[in-house]
C-alpha cells in the first residue's frame, strides 16, 4: 500500500509543485501580473496548440480514438453541466448562478488534466488526453458562454457568436489541423517537429506557474458558502459520480484513469476571465479556482490511490 501511495505522489507531485511554485514566485515578486498576462497569452496562442497538435499528430488515431470513451465523456460533461446548474438554482441568487455553474462544472483539463494524464500514462496519456481536450474546449466554451449569457446581458449567446468564438480558438484550430494530418499520415520536416516540440515542452510548466500566480487568497476570504458549495460539486460529487458510472459501464485501465483525472480536475482559470467579461461576480469565480486547485492536491491523490489499490487503473 505504501508503494501505491508513493507511486501516486510521483504522478501528481510534479504538477502541483509547479502550481505552488507559481504562488511562491508571485509572493516574492519574481513574477508579476504583467508577466502572467503575457505568458498566459503565449501558452494559449502558441505553446498549448503546439502540444495538442503534436500529441494528436504522433498519436495512433485508431488506438486513441475510442468512440465509447468519447461518447461517455460528452454525456458526462452535459450531465455535470445540468447537475451544476441545478445546484445553482437551489443555492444561488440569480445574478451568481452563471458564475457558480461555470465554476462547478468547468475543469482545467487543457492544462492540469492533460499534465496529469501525461505524467501518469506518458505518450498514451498525451495522445488520448489531447483528443479529449479538443472535446473539452468545444463543450466548455459553448456551455459557459450560454450559461453566462442567460444571467448576463454582456455576453452574446446566439449560435453564430458561439460558433465564431469556438472556431477562432487556437486550441480548437490545432486539433482540427492535426487530426486529418495524423489520419492521412502527412509527413512534416524533422526541424519543424523539433521546433514544435520545444514549444510544447514549455506549455505545461509555464501554464501551471501562471495559474499558481493568479490564485488569490484575498478572493478566497471575500467569498463564502457559495464558493465552498461549488468547489464540493467540482472536486467531490462530479468525480465520484462520473468515475463510479464509468466503472459500472466497464471502463478500466488508462481510460478510467484519464476519465477520473479529467472529471476531477480543478476549475479552469479561464472561468475567471469569462466572469469578468460578463461583469459577473469575479470574486466568487476566483475563490472557486483557489479552493478547487488546493483541494485537487488532496482529492486527486486519494482518487488515484483508491483506483490503483482496487486494480482498476
Mean pLDDT value of segment 87-94:
92
282-309 and 225-232 helices, crossing angle to 10°: 30
Tell me the pLDDT band of 7, cut-offs 50, 70 and 90: low
For residue 192, pLDDT beyond 90:
yes
Q: Supply the mean pLDDT for the chain.
A: 85
Mean pLDDT value of segment 242-262:
94
Residue 194 pLDDT: 95
Residue 239 pLDDT: 97
Residue 101 pLDDT: 96
The C-alpha atoms of residue 143 and residue 103 are separated, in whole angstroms, by 12
Residue 81 pLDDT: 97
For residue 1, pLDDT beyond 80:
no
pTM comes to 0.79
Mean pLDDT is highest, among 19-23, 135-139, 253-257, for 253-257
Mean pLDDT value of segment 132-150:
82
For residue 63, pLDDT beyond 70:
no
Tell me the pLDDT band of 24, cut-offs 50, 70 and 90: very high
Residue 260 pLDDT: 94
User: CB burial class (10 A; 0-12, 13-18, 19+) of residue 312?
Assistant: middle
The C-alpha atoms of residue 90 and residue 96 are separated, in whole angstroms, by 11
Question: Is the model more confident about 278 or about 312?
Answer: 312
DSSP for 238-252, written as a single string: HHHHHHHHHHHTT--
Residue 193 pLDDT: 94
Residue 92 CA, distance from chain mean position:
24
Q: Give the chain's domains with CATH numbers.
A: 2-309 (1.20.1530)
Percent of the chain with pLDDT over 70: 91
238-248 and 67-91 helices, crossing angle to 10°: 150
Mean pLDDT is highest, among 1-15, 50-64, 182-196, for 182-196
Question: Is the model more confident about 115 or about 308?
Answer: 308
Residue 125 pLDDT: 82
Amino acid at each position: 500500500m505504501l508503494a501505491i501511495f508513493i507511486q501516486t505522489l510521483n504522478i501528481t507531485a510534479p504538477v502541483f509543485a509547479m502550481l505552488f511554485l507559481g504562488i511562491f514566485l508571485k509572493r516574492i515578486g519574481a513574477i508579476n501580473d504583467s508577466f502572467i498576462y503575457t505568458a498566459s497569452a503565449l501558452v494559449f496562442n502558441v505553446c498549448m496548440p503546439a502540444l495538442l497538435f503534436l500529441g494528436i499528430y504522433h498519436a495512433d488515431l485508431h488506438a486513441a480514438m475510442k468512440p465509447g470513451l468519447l461518447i461517455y465523456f460528452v454525456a458526462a460533461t452535459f450531465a455535470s453541466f445540468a447537475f451544476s446548474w441545478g445546484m445553482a438554482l437551489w443555492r444561488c441568487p440569480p445574478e451568481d448562478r452563471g458564475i457558480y455553474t461555470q465554476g462547478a462544472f468547468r475543469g482545467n483539463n487543457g492544462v492540469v488534466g492533460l499534465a496529469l494524464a501525461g505524467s501518469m500514462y506518458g505518450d498514451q496519456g498525451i495522445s488520448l488526453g489531447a483528443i479529449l481536450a479538443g472535446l473539452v474546449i468545444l463543450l466548455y466554451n459553448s456551455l459557459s458562454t450560454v450559461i453566462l449569457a442567460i444571467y448576463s446581458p454582456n455576453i452574446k449567446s446566439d449560435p453564430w457568436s458561439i460558433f465564431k468564438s469556438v472556431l477562432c480558438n487556437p486550441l480548437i484550430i490545432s486539433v482540427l489541423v492535426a487530426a486529418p494530418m495524423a489520419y492521412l499520415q502527412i509527413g512534416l520536416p524533422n526541424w519543424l517537429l523539433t521546433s514544435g516540440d520545444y514549444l510544447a515542452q514549455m506549455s505545461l510548466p509555464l501554464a501551471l506557474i501562471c495559474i499558481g500566480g493568479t490564485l488569490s487568497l484575498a478572493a478566497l476570504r471575500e467569498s463564502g458558502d457559495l464558493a465552498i458549495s461549488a468547489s464540493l460539486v467540482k472536486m467531490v460529487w462530479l468525480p465520484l459520480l462520473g468515475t463510479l458510472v464509468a466503472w459500472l459501464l466497464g471502463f478500466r485501465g488508462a481510460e478510467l484513469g484519464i476519465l477520473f483525472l479529467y472529471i476531477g480536475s480543478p476549475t479552469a482559470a479561464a472561468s475567471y476571465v469569462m466572469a469578468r467579461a460578463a461583469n459577473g461576480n469575479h470574486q466568487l469565480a476566483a475563490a472557486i479556482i483557489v479552493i478547487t486547485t488546493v483541494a485537487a492536491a488532496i482529492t486527486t491523490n486519494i482518487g488515484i490511490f483508491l483506483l490503483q489499490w482496487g486494480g482498476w487503473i
